[in-house]
Structure 1
């Protein structure tokens, strides 16, 4: 039996944005964004997504921060947090792959057309281009952790939820997740009053449309 020594976390989210709602309508899945994290406090998270919180068209490889940026604009973001046990060697491979993406982040872009490929069950690949779940699946594949027989360009966030290798840790509102750093959350609220005002206004508008 392979010895396990490290834990990798997967964060699946549903921000409730217009684009997210459109994707959700097509996929009929509860979560439509996937990120990979190295700690249960979600201090170090990576994915392919928005580089600017208010502009979904500018996207690529990003180090996400649940305490600022996009997530702070969408206070009612729901999430599912999964974990998977990996060996020390697999963990180091994952680290090295993420480091490569970090060092070459300007070379990568968001694989928007790849989302159409998922809808038609035909992988559409572009060099140095990924969508969120494709990126996370690619990290596992390059780390020699074989989870699916399908191309990574057909892996969706829901595939992580359904895979038996992942254990559910938490499901609910992101900012109710008990392992978040409450001090950082409080500091973010004090440092970003405009963001908090915008988030609360957006929350009211969304409630009116329900």
Structure 2
């Protein structure tokens, strides 16, 4: 019996000033990373804006990828097969973050550390790709061969542990507008 579970990494570009600044340094077109528990993206988590209209109020969030904030976002959705044990570990960590979400802040200093190639860890603080890499690593799945403190969203695009299943407009994928096939999005399935 196959006991592997699917979990997803979603990369997006929201077009905000911060993502444009990040792109200047990373040269990657997609500069926000999230973890999703389902292919339909109903349960998506990351570190980002707690209030879409306020970039300075950020931390652990459950993201509504069908909302206005992601309306014009491009994305890439990747699938990762993990053991039942790793999946349970990832779930447990997310539940912990949800329970104690008020403790957690956005690690803006850590992002500066990535630019300078310095591991800048802060207690209870993460930036999006650090969060995704850390959650997987703590569950025994090392997606990228570097410290989570130095992982960029672009690093997830080159790892053999993730399988690309969609690239295109996020709202086309989630059904918020027209279907992805009609809008020119591309799907890959196993």
Q: TM-score, normalised by structure 1?
A: 0.80
**Displacement of 1:176:** 1.1
In 2, the alpha carbon distance for the partners of 1:94 and 1:122 equals 26
Partner of 1:205: none
Task: Give yes or no for the alignment of 1:133 onto 2:133.
Answer: no
Runs of at least 5 residues in structure 2 that lack an aligned partner in the other structure: 178-190
Contact 2:70–2:171, Cα closer than 8 Å, also in 1 = no
Task: Give the stretch that moved more between structures: 147-156 or 34-43.
Answer: 147-156
Q: Deviations over 1:88-142 (max 9, x none)?
A: 1111111111111111111111000101100011110000100000000010111
> Structure 1: where are the runs of 5+ without partners?
187-210
Write the deviation string for residues 6-56 of structure 1: whole angstroms up to 9, x where unpaired: 001011000111221111111111111000000000000000000011111
- RMSD over aligned Cα atoms: 1.3
Instruction: Provide the residue aligned with 1:64 in structure 2.
Output: 63
Instruction: Count matched residues.
Output: 176
Alpha-carbon distance in structure 2 between the residues aligned to 1:89 and 1:73: 34
Matched residue SS, 1:150: coil
Matched, 1:108 2:104: yes
Aligned to 2:24: 25
Tell me if the contact between 1:111 and 1:131 (Cα under 8 Å) persists in the aligned partners: yes
Contact 1:60 1:110 (C-alpha < 8 Å) held by counterparts:
yes
Q: Does 1:90 align with 2:89?
A: no
Tell me, what secondary structure is at the counterpart of 1:41? coil
Structure with the greater alpha carbon radius of gyration: 1
> Which position in structure 1 is the counterpart of 2:71?
75
Partners in 1 of 2:132 and 2:62 — Cα distance?
A: 13
Distance (Å, rounded) in 1 between the aligned partners of 2:95 and 2:113: 28
Larger proportion of helix = 1
CA contact (8 A) 2:143 2:156 kept: no
C-alpha distance 145-81 of structure 1, shift in aligned 2 (>3 A): same
CA contact (8 A) 1:13 1:34 kept: yes
